[in-house]
Chain A
Amino acid sequence: MFPIIARREIAPGIHSLWVKADRVASKARPGHFVILRLHERGERIPLTVVGTEPEKGLVWLIFQEVGKSTAELAGYSPGDALLDVVGPLGQAEPAGKVGTVLCVGGGVGTAPVLPRAREFKAAGNRVIGIVGARNRDLLILGREMEETCDRVYFCTDDGSFGHHGLVTDLIPLAQAEHGPVDRVLAIGPVPMMRAAVAKCGELGLPVTVSLNALMVDGTGMCGACRVTVGGVTRFTCVDGPEFDGAQVDFGELSARLRQYAAEERLAAERFAARRKGGECQCRGA
């Protein structure tokens, strides 16, 4: 069992979670993810590692309530434990010194951006952050990004904070204000990554994305997470999750992410109904 040390709702429906997993904490690096499971009937949930405190054996995760399992996880508190935490998984190539790096996060995608931004900064790069969200309330990790980056631009879809518009508006702005950009990292919802990749293409900027494909085992065994990158089938879990954005078939990724939409809806509705009915303590079989 992997005890939960802290959980806090940092924005409506977005939670910060610290879990004790000594082996993972000692090995995870920026870019890695873990897979966790709540209970015997639970599914395997992949989440990017946001940070670690290796001396205390702690792993920092951030998740958004998007379905049954994440809604259930949102009900966990210190004193509860996760049945399984396995990792670190995925490839996490160390960030080198490349010059000026744009770190672009959309929505909860800012969570996996933060550790990379910190790593780029530590490697001696000039790091410019771009953080976007639907509105001011849903904007996360603004302070942490400001502490990490040389400059952070904010934007919201409704204009409630920062620039009124999309992260793609700010990529050329950042480039204009800070000179040549050597590398872009863009992580967020698929439409945002797709638009960021298109914008970077126009500007001639190399862009890395991190994909959130559906997974089961996360160790290369099943192929559920396969994506087409550069015309070749790759597995997000063992070949990624970071890929050259210009090579990713985002249309296919979008379709594959919708594969279980009906089942996800059914499970979420059942869970919501049960919770409403007062059966909140449904911690598995």
Chain B
Amino acid sequence: MPGRVAMPKQPPGERRKNFREVALGLTPELAVAEARRCLQCKNPPCVTGCPVQVPIKEFIGLIGQGDPAAALKRIREKNLLPAICGRVCPQEVQCEAKCVWAKKGEPIAIGALERFAADHGAADAAQPGRAVASEASPAPAASTARPSRARVAVVGSGPAGLTAAAELARHGYRVTVFESLHAAGGVLRYGIPEFRLPKSVLDAELDGLRRLGVEIECDVVVGQTVTLEDLWAEGFRAVFVGTGAGLPHFLGVAGENLNGVYSANEFLTRANLMRAYEFPETDTPIRTGRRVAVVGGGNVAMDSARTALRLGAEQVMIVYRRSREELPARREEVENAEEEGIEFRFLQAPTRILGDERGQVVGLEVQRMELGEPDASGRRRPVPVPGAEEVIPVDTVISAIGQGPNPLFIRYTPGLATTAGGQIAVDENGETSLRGVFAGGDIVTGAATVILAMGAGKEAAHQIHRRLEGQL
């Protein structure tokens, strides 16, 4: 039995200097070979690991038969954003973890194959990013589609909102997505860098949604530009809220407002959404400095560190208070970061940011930690090692320690119940305290993954359908 194929990648020495996609995608030969490793299990366990139940066995079988177009069509029955999921889903803890080959350490490369189907299955799929073509767009699922034509509003165009919009459009609803920024995609636009998710891929998926009849209106802050009351008055019959975890946490240490301290959201937004890496050809500047410390151990921290490197930083460090085993980032992204020369400082917690007389960062003071007893999350709690402090000389500190719920829709929507953590409270059907208003994704769960948000958006769309059909 041949082993799992390796994803071709740009060599680390080259890619650390450009923003082009790191993972190049499987060739047709590699994809067919990998697909043929699939055992086509009678009761495939992989699908149980997928939050949106993609027919994995079936689409892989079609790739093995050399028919990526048919494979893409099968995927799209369950997942309308496969070019994105194939790239950013943490398959290693989802579908691939359930693959029978995982026991041997060589699960089928499901994510790479999903991406292959998306990139090669469309009629005009000559290049990555041309993922969606009309031929591959799904016909409305005949059994469920009834052209009720009621209007449904979706607040936020991130993974949850886009998925909800797609599902609702397939059910025949007229969907308008409202986005507060000037470009759609939410975290897929402002957060995930070009080298991991090319914007052309996102744009192609958005075009696919528009072909389903979804309208996307940017520059609208629901709550301020239009209120929920306005949406009802405009004739919307239901609302899905997927406003995400868009309120950055800062470190809570002295010096956090010095110049040179960024939230990961700000750093990535300047680079991705505002294309600050092209300054002064674009108007938004970014300051990377020579030495950069990124605090945190998740995917956002990896994205920030690797972006800083590509912007010209000489030394980029990840400062994480636990050890390698506890890193929440995808293993693949950690490996990519290490290959590119990102340094990891484990078991170090920031205690202070030092600045000069002009208010500019000059150093990050860290406290050495060791692992103690497991905490509520099951991970061993880091505890300070007395007397072990150190100052790392840096020009820039990027705080990538998580985000809270964005406050705007909640603040300006009277009667909307929230949890103790400030998230929107929903019932078992995803409906909020306001009838007809559903919510899902990070605004309900707290910061999580793209695919979980997509799962929530999809489920909410079904519940909205039930509500509007009088079944809820």
Interface of A with B (CB < 8 Å)?
23-24, 27, 37, 41-44, 68-69, 83-89, 216-217, 219-224, 226-228, 233, 238, 252, 255-256, 258-260, 263-264, 266-267, 270
Contact at B266–A41, with CB atoms within 8 Å? no
- In the bound assembly, the distance between CA atoms of A256 and B359 in angstroms comes to 8
- In the bound assembly, the distance between CA atoms of A254 and B257 in angstroms comes to 12
- In the bound assembly, the distance between CA atoms of A109 and B182 in angstroms comes to 27
> What does the 1/0 interface line of B274-298 toward A look like (CB < 8 Å)?
1100111111110100000000000
- Are A23 and B270 CB-contacts (below 8 A) given A222-B248, A226-B257? no
Please tell me if B265 contacts chain A, counting CB pairs below 8 Å: yes
Contact at B269–A221, with CB atoms within 8 Å? yes
- In the bound assembly, the distance between CA atoms of A270 and B283 in angstroms comes to 11
Please tell me if B445 contacts chain A, counting CB pairs below 8 Å: no
State which residues 430-472 of B face A: CB under 8 Å: none
Measured between C-beta atoms, what is the minimum distance from A42 to chain B in Å?
5
Please tell me if B133 contacts chain A, counting CB pairs below 8 Å: no
Measured between C-beta atoms, what is the minimum distance from A170 to chain B in Å?
31
Question: Looking across the interface, which residue of chain A has its beta carbon closest to that of B187?
Answer: A221
- In the bound assembly, the distance between CA atoms of A222 and B245 in angstroms comes to 11
- In the bound assembly, the distance between CA atoms of A84 and B281 in angstroms comes to 19
> What does the 1/0 interface line of B193-226 toward A look like (CB < 8 Å)?
0000000000000000000000000111100111
Contact at B359–A219, with CB atoms within 8 Å? no
Please tell me if B315 contacts chain A, counting CB pairs below 8 Å: no
Residue in B182, B257, B269, B407 whose beta carbon sits within 8 Å of that of A86 in the complex: B182
Residues of A within 8 A of B278 (CB): 41
Question: Looking across the interface, which residue of chain B has its beta carbon closest to that of A83?
Answer: B182
- In the bound assembly, the distance between CA atoms of A87 and B219 in angstroms comes to 8
Contact at A41–B270, with CB atoms within 8 Å? no
Residues of B within 8 A of A216 (CB): 266, 269-270, 274, 284
- In the bound assembly, the distance between CA atoms of A226 and B262 in angstroms comes to 10
10 closest A-B pairs by CB: A255-B359, A263-B285, A222-B266, A43-B283, A86-B219, A221-B246, A84-B182, A223-B263, A43-B284, A41-B282
Contact at A263–B250, with CB atoms within 8 Å? no
Question: Looking across the interface, which residue of chain A has its beta carbon closest to that of B247?
Answer: A220
Interface of B with A (CB < 8 Å)?
180-182, 190, 218-221, 224-226, 246-248, 250, 256-259, 263, 265-266, 269-270, 274-275, 278-285, 287, 358-359, 406-408
- In the bound assembly, the distance between CA atoms of A228 and B258 in angstroms comes to 11
Q: Is the interface of A mostly helix, strand, loop or mixed?
A: mixed
Residue in A87, A88, A224 whose beta carbon sits within 8 Å of that of B266 in the complex: A224
Supply 17 further A-B pairs (C-beta < 8 A) apart from A216-B269, A219-B406, A264-B285.
Answer: A23-B226, A41-B281, A44-B284, A68-B283, A84-B182, A87-B225, A216-B274, A219-B180, A221-B190, A221-B247, A233-B256, A252-B257, A256-B257, A260-B285, A263-B280, A267-B279, A267-B285
Residues of B within 8 A of A259 (CB): 259, 287
- Are A260 and B248 CB-contacts (below 8 A) given A86-B221, A223-B266? no
**Candidate in A84, A223, A266 with the most chain B CB atoms within 10 angstroms:** A223
- In the bound assembly, the distance between CA atoms of A37 and B275 in angstroms comes to 14
Residues of B within 8 A of A43 (CB): 274, 282-284
Q: Is the interface of B mostly helix, strand, loop or mixed?
A: loop
Residue in B246, B250, B256, B287 whose beta carbon sits within 8 Å of that of A219 in the complex: B246
- 23 A-B residue pairs with Cβ-Cβ distance under 8 Å, sorted by A, are A23-B226, A41-B275, A41-B282, A41-B283, A43-B274, A86-B219, A86-B220, A86-B225, A89-B221, A216-B270, A216-B274, A217-B181, A219-B181, A220-B246, A220-B406, A221-B190, A221-B246, A222-B269, A256-B259, A256-B359, A259-B259, A260-B287, A267-B285
- Are A220 and B408 CB-contacts (below 8 A) given A23-B220, A23-B226, A41-B275? yes
Contact at A217–B287, with CB atoms within 8 Å? no
Contact at A84–B224, with CB atoms within 8 Å? no
Measured between C-beta atoms, what is the minimum distance from A93 to chain B in Å?
12
- Are A228 and B287 CB-contacts (below 8 A) given A41-B281, A217-B269? no
Measured between C-beta atoms, what is the minimum distance from A248 to chain B in Å?
12
Contact at B283–A42, with CB atoms within 8 Å? yes
Question: Looking across the interface, which residue of chain B has its beta carbon closest to that of A251?
Answer: B359
Residues of B within 8 A of A266 (CB): 280
Residues of A within 8 A of B258 (CB): 255
Measured between C-beta atoms, what is the minimum distance from A65 to chain B in Å?
14
Measured between C-beta atoms, what is the minimum distance from B424 to chain A in Å?
15
- Are A223 and B182 CB-contacts (below 8 A) given A24-B225, A238-B407? no
Residues of B within 8 A of A87 (CB): 221, 224-225
- Are A84 and B284 CB-contacts (below 8 A) given A221-B248, A238-B408, A263-B279? no
- In the bound assembly, the distance between CA atoms of A56 and B271 in angstroms comes to 37
Question: Looking across the interface, which residue of chain A has its beta carbon closest to that of B357?
Answer: A255
Measured between C-beta atoms, what is the minimum distance from B281 to chain A in Å?
7
Residues of B within 8 A of A85 (CB): 219
- In the bound assembly, the distance between CA atoms of A263 and B220 in angstroms comes to 30
- Are A84 and B219 CB-contacts (below 8 A) given A219-B180, A223-B250? yes
Residue in A23, A217, A238 whose beta carbon sits within 8 Å of that of B225 in the complex: A23
Contact at A84–B218, with CB atoms within 8 Å? yes
Question: Looking across the interface, which residue of chain B has its beta carbon closest to that of A266?
Answer: B280
Contact at A219–B221, with CB atoms within 8 Å? yes
**Candidate in A43, A220, A238 with the most chain B CB atoms within 10 angstroms:** A220
Residues of B within 8 A of A264 (CB): 285
Measured between C-beta atoms, what is the minimum distance from B452 to chain A in Å?
20
- In the bound assembly, the distance between CA atoms of A88 and B224 in angstroms comes to 6
- Are A267 and B283 CB-contacts (below 8 A) given A44-B274, A221-B246, A223-B263? yes
Residues of A within 8 A of B225 (CB): 23-24, 27, 86-88
- In the bound assembly, the distance between CA atoms of A24 and B358 in angstroms comes to 38
Residues of A within 8 A of B224 (CB): 27, 87-89
Residue in B274, B282, B283, B406 whose beta carbon sits within 8 Å of that of A221 in the complex: B406
Measured between C-beta atoms, what is the minimum distance from A234 to chain B in Å?
10
- In the bound assembly, the distance between CA atoms of A27 and B222 in angstroms comes to 11
Question: Looking across the interface, which residue of chain A has its beta carbon closest to that of B408?
Answer: A219
Measured between C-beta atoms, what is the minimum distance from A157 to chain B in Å?
26
Residues of B within 8 A of A258 (CB): 259, 358-359
Residues of A within 8 A of B282 (CB): 41-43
Measured between C-beta atoms, what is the minimum distance from A24 to chain B in Å?
7
Measured between C-beta atoms, what is the minimum distance from B135 to chain A in Å?
30
Contact at A255–B259, with CB atoms within 8 Å? yes
Residues of B within 8 A of A83 (CB): 182
